[in-house]
Amino acid sequence: MKSLERVLATVGGQPKDRPAFVMNLSLYGSKLAGIPPEVLYADASAYAQGQIAVREVFGPDLLLSPFLVPALGEAFGSVSATGRSQVPNIRQFATRGAREALALPLPDVDSHPRIVYLRETIRTLSARYQGEVPVVGVLVSPVDLPPLVMGVEAWLEALLSEPDTARALMERWAPFCADLANAMLGDGATLIAATANFANPTLVPPRVTQGIGRPALEATFGAIRGPIILHHGGARLEPHLDAYLGLPNVAAYFVDARDSLPQARRRLGEGPILIGNVHGPTLENETPESARSLAEAILAERAGDPRFIFGTSAADIPLATPPEVITALVDAVCAAGSVAP
């Protein structure tokens, strides 16, 4: 089966030759293609070369647009810096608080250089793999955009102490997030992956999740004209899945490595796609043998789940991870064999 056929079979709960898999190898493309990270995250064609190398070496069933949320902060005026072996991080925020953020102009999704970079990677990859490999457009939801513009502390202060301002900011930024997601879908993305950390009860109290977070997600996701993967971001998702059920257009839930896949499936029911859950950032500490064992345990437990996709959770797999470790994960998936409903 082609990767697209395998993913579509997963969506429909239909038989397939093996489980589909996705890995956060956004940064790792730098290693495989011999491109420095500072070039990879500045040049769309360079990033695409990295993902083409990822596909040729490891063969994931979904390819990712840059896992580069700081680029969205840059679009609002924040400044980031790239390390020699790391994804860029924000080093200077555009504003100091939510009231200032309300006054910022919205970036143009068709012309801002950092957004054009994100979109061009999707155009290039989707053109190359059309009808063969789905491309995922990676974004944050509006609740996770403010930390990239004003910092986590300022955003938490607004959510807890200035709810009216925080709500006004969500109303202003939700259409921007939806417009960018729809632009990515128009560029050829098959799905949109979005985080929602600051609508997660792990991080904020119920009055925030229910009064600000949930309405912002409903407004944004309801305006997106395609399927959405709700990504755990950096927080546990499984214990709080009830808070996210029923959100418009959410087709899949990508859970944290600390989450229980059986519990997640019980909470979700049979319909949604469940994705997870080897912890990507610590794979550099594994051996091929231990990595394969981790994958085999997950795949054995999920063997009867036709709507499961094996995936590495959290942030990027580090550059220091031996390729043999990643190959061991891939070999475990391929050895898992056919999946029947």
On whether the CB atoms of residues 60 and 25 are closer than 8 A, the answer is yes
What single-letter amino acid sits at 66?
P
Q: What is the pLDDT of residue 153?
A: 97
Q: What is the pLDDT of residue 187?
A: 98
Q: What is the pLDDT of residue 341?
A: 83
Domains of the chain in start order, with CATH, are 3-335 (3.20.20.210)
Residue 159 CA to residue 216 CA, distance in Å, equals: 13
Residue 318 CA to residue 332 CA, distance in Å, equals: 20
Beta-ladder partners of 192: 137, 228
| Total-model pTM | 0.96
Q: What is the pLDDT of residue 222?
A: 98
Q: What is the pLDDT of residue 325?
A: 98
Rounded to an integer, the average pLDDT of 245-274 is: 97
Q: Where are the alpha helices (DSSP H) in the chain?
A: 3-12, 28-33, 37-40, 44-58, 70-75, 98-102, 113-128, 146-149, 152-161, 163-187, 206-208, 214-222, 261-268, 288-301, 323-335
Q: What is the pLDDT of residue 81?
A: 87
Residue 133 in tokens:
């490999």
The pLDDT > 70 percentage for the chain reads 100
Best CA proximity match to 253, nearest among 275, 279, 282: 275
Q: What is the pLDDT of residue 90?
A: 95
Query: What does pLDDT average to over the chain?
Result: 96
Evaluate if residue 172 carries a pLDDT over 90. Answer: yes
β-strand 308-313 against 273-279: which pairing, if any?
Answer: parallel
Task: Note the pLDDT tens digit of each residue in 277-316.
Answer: 999 999 999 999 999 999 999 999 999 999 999 999 999 9
Q: What is the pLDDT of residue 41?
A: 96
Rounded to an integer, the average pLDDT of 106-120 is: 98
Indicate left, alpha or beta for 194 from its phi (over 0: left) and psi (-120 to 50: alpha).
Answer: beta
User: What is the distance of C-alpha 14 from the center of its chain?
Assistant: 24
Residues 6+ apart with CB under 8 A from 324: 288
pLDDT band at 82 (very low <50, low <70, confident <90, very high): confident
On whether the CB atoms of residues 251 and 228 are closer than 8 A, the answer is yes
Q: What is the pLDDT of residue 85?
A: 73
Evaluate if residue 84 carries a pLDDT over 80. Answer: no
Rounded to an integer, the average pLDDT of 69-97 is: 91
Residue 55 CA to residue 49 CA, distance in Å, equals: 10
Pairs from 41-46 (Cβ < 8 Å, separation ≥ 24) = 41/66, 41/68, 41/71, 41/82, 41/87, 41/88, 42/82, 42/117, 43/117, 44/116, 44/117, 44/118, 44/120, 44/121, 44/124, 45/120, 45/124
Q: What is the pLDDT of residue 301?
A: 96
Evaluate if residue 86 carries a pLDDT over 90. Answer: no
Task: Note the pLDDT tens digit of each residue in 150-160.
Answer: 999 999 999 99
Residues 6+ apart with CB under 8 A from 5: 16
